Structure 1
Amino acid sequence: MSQTEVELKLLINKKHRQKLKDQVPQLGVTVDEKVLHLRNTYFDTDALQLRQWHMGLRVRNGEGINEQTIKTAGQVSGGLHSRPEYNVPIAGELPDLAQFDSSIWPKNADIAQLQQQLTPLFNTDFTRHLWRLQVEQQQLEVCLDSGAITCNNTELPISEVELELIDDDPAVLFNCATMLAERVPLRLGQESKAKRGYQLAAQAFDAYLTDLDFIQLSDDLSPAQAFKKLVMAGLERWQQLELMLESYPSPSLWQDLRQTLRMLKLVLTQFQQLDEQARQLFAWFEGQLSFVDKASALTYALDINSKSLRKKLDPEQLNAAMSQALANLQLEQRLAGLLEALQYGQLQLQLLKLASIAQIETDSSDLRQHATRFQADSWQKVQQLMPIDTDLDKDDYLAFAAPLEKSLLVGVSYGELYGHAGRDEFRLPWNDMAKGINELACYQAIREQAQAIGVDIEAWLSRKEASLVFAMEQSRRSALVQTPYWQA
């Protein structure tokens, strides 16, 4: 039997499972409710041939179920999973590939040989509380899965909620998920059980994060398509950062998360999709990340190893004060606190809904025209905030940090449409100024901690700041006379 599975996967802390169980029946009329114990064994070859074909093969046993399933390549966007799958009842616990429709396999695949090479890789063993609901004349399944993925005596916990469409109106899916997220802390889950199991089997996890680079847009996209691609790129980066922050809560990752959220807010604003609810959610999140500037400045300050500073005082005394100030920010506890907030999952769901089903109306179908207007508006604001005939001091630059970041993020969103010619050269001095602003913030952090322990290094700090501002002023004046790449 073939079907295309469209489901929304959400993660839930185990302490909130009972609350979720109480809330699900309130979504609609319960058609059926049951609790199943399911054990899945996932199979592949030693060379992971199925994985290379973007397929996943499992055998499910439990509660009168003996079924083999193969999922073929589909799409995972944020937490929305859409993959064709093929289910076949079987008698035992081992898969029989010959029972699947031959059309699902890649051309020239030797299925008999593949069958001989199959081996069990990992298991998922979990309890599924399943509700089938009638919601607004639509059929919806909600599953709460609790258990573990096991491989070679190693376990990963399973605690997730899946909302799966039986009918074909995705608005119902998002509406129900939002109703749950208003009552229970939830967040999007991008990785399937199968992907997590493969990672466990290989003892390798996706933990590499590149810099927030130009998002891959092309002229053949409509503005509406570009909007959805921009939102999805930001949302997927947010989820990747979340995974990394769980094990490495560094200030740089928190700064990346705030930058990603600011980019998402900017895109929604440009396409007139920032309604009052989204505005409030972004404002809440910005407030939750108010510690980021101080954490980044302190971390940068601790990395400074200036000979001239060592002549003034014992650097260990100042470093100890800055280390304590950084520890007081409790970076290790920040993510857990965020994940307990209802607003966290609500914002993720609203963004995913916009990227999946929102109808975006624009006054032109020319994406380049939209991008040029957005960048020109941003450039005009920069020129107004720092006119070329006005001298700026360190306080002016520190106040300019957020507007400059916003302007650079506009370029991240749309810069790929214009190619490399002139673009990177245009952005270079502005990126240098952003780094200079971060360094000024670092000196301010040193000043605050020096004052707190009664050490006078004001003369040294003033000289460092003055030298840096002088260099930034030269870069700014050169940057302001450049011809923007979108006008070239």
Structure 2
Amino acid sequence: MDTEIELKYLVLGDDIPAVITNLLNQLKYPFSCKTKTLANCYYDTPDLALRKADIGLRIRQNNKGEIEQTIKTSGITVGGLHQRPEYNISLGSANVNLALFPNDIWPPTLDVESVQEQITALFDTNFKRMTWLVTMPDNSQIELAFDQGEICSSQSRELINEIELELISGDASSIFILAHSLTSVIAMRPGTLSKAARGYGLVFGRTESHISSASTVLAFEPSMTILESFKAGFSECLSQLQQLVSQFVAEPNLHLLKEISDSLALARHGLWLYKDYLPSDKADSIRIQIKVVLAELAWVETARQIRELTTKKGNYRKKIEYSKSLLAELKNEKHQLIDFEQMIKLLHGEAFNLLQLSMLEFILNEPESEEHKTELLDLAPSWLSLNLDTLNKAIHRDKPLTAAEYIDNHHLIIRSLLTGSWFGGLYDIEQRMDFRGPWLDIHLGIDELETLTLLKGHLQGSSEEIPQKLISWLDDKVENLLCALEHCKAAALNLQPYWLK
């Protein structure tokens, strides 16, 4: 048995082999290079018994006629890093023979003889592989592979254009060093799905869960220590981020960009919450990297607000049509803001890749000291209370707030909600949602208030005479929204915190 330690990337661009070879020569890393053609067929039973057991089975043939059957059992995938036990058996013919594998690799609940009787071919992955066996400065050896081809089923096809970095020998940190260098010359993004997973998706349909920042609650166990919970939460943030990027690349839209921004904000908030328990130099470096990427996404919220104002199905479109020039101005501004092609470049670019590598290295490498072995439940209530106390001081119970005051305090509400996203999963879900509901309503209400404030700014800066109907409607809308926010505020401030019950 071998345990693969791999980083996988999906790549954009042409002439990738030449780019890789030139980079290795510039870095003066010794390497040998070879090319082969691989034909792979993946198998399972009609009821997907292997897939349900998190097992992958393939038969591979190369251009020399050599045949090998492989089993990959359940492993770990974090941020594009794949670690899975792998078993390889040479064959004389391209026929599955499960009896050749060791008996102890199978889950006790799996009937191997029944699987053998029912086994059938599902899909193929056929590609040309160019590999560089690279010797790193510390003498670690890494196999860098570029695969180009396609996944084929009877119904459809999907292109393969990816890089894999596999540790052959030495220190696993050498993979990250080489990956850092690759990000400077190749447009790429972490591949969180294996070829097998993509093939299953091609045959049976791929259904990725909808991610909503408003409902995100990180999965923690009460028995976790401080550092265990940070690593679990930060890992979930990274996985969520990469899933959202994958969805955006497949179908670019403003909603997904906003969720990407919110996912980054959740990760950054974790660095702030745990700052007393993390190495400040590493945490500060990642926080700065997140800040840089968030700055590139800063336009998204304004574009979303303008879309809400101008879309034909939006709440405000009919009112804004009182002023044709205003509608045209807003549409023009939205057009100037939105550049999805530039966002694709950002999400495949060096800065974003280095951020994800930094997050992954932080998750994998940070050791736990004795002073950090305090249980999470001993500290989570104090973190939740601290954020709520800050919020209570800013949002007075008995004093109505103006639109400007609500907007000025929006960041405090977001911060409190993010803290709840980190630690709320430790508590009863119904009590948590009852408490969180009014605060989420306030958050959404301020979002709408910011949209109306944007519209007001455009009205005040307009050179044409604005119809009185539009001005009166806007004033009424703001007044009604403030009234609703005050009701939500009263309800929120009267609720007992779920973590103190």
**TM-score, normalisation: structure 1:** 0.90
CA distance in 2, matches of 1:287, 1:382: 25
Assess if the C-alpha contact under 8 Å between 2:50 and 2:56 holds in 1. Answer: yes
1:411 aligns with one of 420, 428, 441: 420
Per the TM alignment, residue 15 of structure 1 is displaced from its structure 2 partner at its CA by 2.8
Q: Indicate the larger mover: 464-473 or 406-415.
A: 464-473
Name the counterpart of 2:231: 228
In the TM superposition, 1:321-400 aligns within 5 A as: 322-330=330-338, 332-361=340-369, 363-388=372-397, 390-400=399-409
Paired residue type of 1:188: P
Assess if the C-alpha contact under 8 Å between 1:16 and 1:185 holds in 2. Answer: no
CA distance in 2, matches of 1:475, 1:189: 42
Name the counterpart of 1:207: 208
1:217 paired with 2:225, answer: no
Assess if the C-alpha contact under 8 Å between 2:217 and 2:425 holds in 1. Answer: yes
Per the TM alignment, residue 14 of structure 1 is displaced from its structure 2 partner at its CA by 3.0
State the Cα deviation string for residues 449-468 of structure 1 (Å, max 9, x = none): 55658334223212211221
Paired residue type of 2:218: I
Per the TM alignment, residue 188 of structure 1 is displaced from its structure 2 partner at its CA by 1.2
Name the counterpart of 2:182: 180
Name the counterpart of 1:55: 55
**Closer/same/farther in 2, CA of residues 153 and 415 from structure 1, 3 Å limit:** closer
**Closer/same/farther in 2, CA of residues 20 and 397 from structure 1, 3 Å limit:** farther
Paired residue type of 2:173: A
Q: Indicate the larger mover: 60-69 or 174-183.
A: 174-183
1:289 paired with 2:301, answer: no
Assess if the C-alpha contact under 8 Å between 2:187 and 2:345 holds in 1. Answer: no
**Closer/same/farther in 2, CA of residues 62 and 452 from structure 1, 3 Å limit:** farther
Per the TM alignment, residue 184 of structure 1 is displaced from its structure 2 partner at its CA by 3.2
**Closer/same/farther in 2, CA of residues 111 and 27 from structure 1, 3 Å limit:** farther
**Closer/same/farther in 2, CA of residues 401 and 360 from structure 1, 3 Å limit:** farther
Name the counterpart of 1:157: 159
1:250 paired with 2:249, answer: no
In the TM superposition, 1:234-273 aligns within 5 A as: 234-272=237-275, 273=278
CA distance in 1, matches of 2:458, 2:95: 65
State the Cα deviation string for residues 88-124 of structure 1 (Å, max 9, x = none): 1112223222222222233364444433432222221
Assess if the C-alpha contact under 8 Å between 1:78 and 1:236 holds in 2. Answer: yes
Per the TM alignment, residue 248 of structure 1 is displaced from its structure 2 partner at its CA by 3.0
Q: Indicate the larger mover: 217-226 or 466-475.
A: 466-475
CA distance in 2, matches of 1:127, 1:409: 45
Give the alignment's Cα RMSD to 1 decimal. Answer: 2.7
Assess if the C-alpha contact under 8 Å between 1:6 and 1:81 holds in 2. Answer: yes
Aligned length: 484
CA distance in 2, matches of 1:318, 1:249: 27
Per the TM alignment, residue 318 of structure 1 is displaced from its structure 2 partner at its CA by 5.9
Assess if the C-alpha contact under 8 Å between 1:71 and 1:85 holds in 2. Answer: yes
Assess if the C-alpha contact under 8 Å between 2:9 and 2:163 holds in 1. Answer: yes
Assess if the C-alpha contact under 8 Å between 1:170 and 1:357 holds in 2. Answer: no
In the TM superposition, 1:466-477 aligns within 5 A as: 466-477=479-490
Identity %: 28
Name the counterpart of 2:492: 479
State the Cα deviation string for residues 223-246 of structure 1 (Å, max 9, x = none): 111111101111111111112212
CA distance in 1, matches of 2:223, 2:63: 50
Assess if the C-alpha contact under 8 Å between 2:12 and 2:186 holds in 1. Answer: no
SS in 2 for 1:354: helix
1:431 paired with 2:440, answer: yes
SS in 2 for 1:73: coil
Assess if the C-alpha contact under 8 Å between 2:123 and 2:199 holds in 1. Answer: yes
Assess if the C-alpha contact under 8 Å between 1:7 and 1:165 holds in 2. Answer: yes
CA distance in 2, matches of 1:110, 1:418: 39
Q: Indicate the larger mover: 7-16 or 217-226.
A: 7-16
Q: Indicate the larger mover: 228-237 or 337-346.
A: 337-346
**TM-score, normalisation: structure 2:** 0.88
Assess if the C-alpha contact under 8 Å between 1:14 and 1:159 holds in 2. Answer: no
CA distance in 2, matches of 1:5, 1:366: 33
Name the counterpart of 1:442: 451
Per the TM alignment, residue 266 of structure 1 is displaced from its structure 2 partner at its CA by 1.0
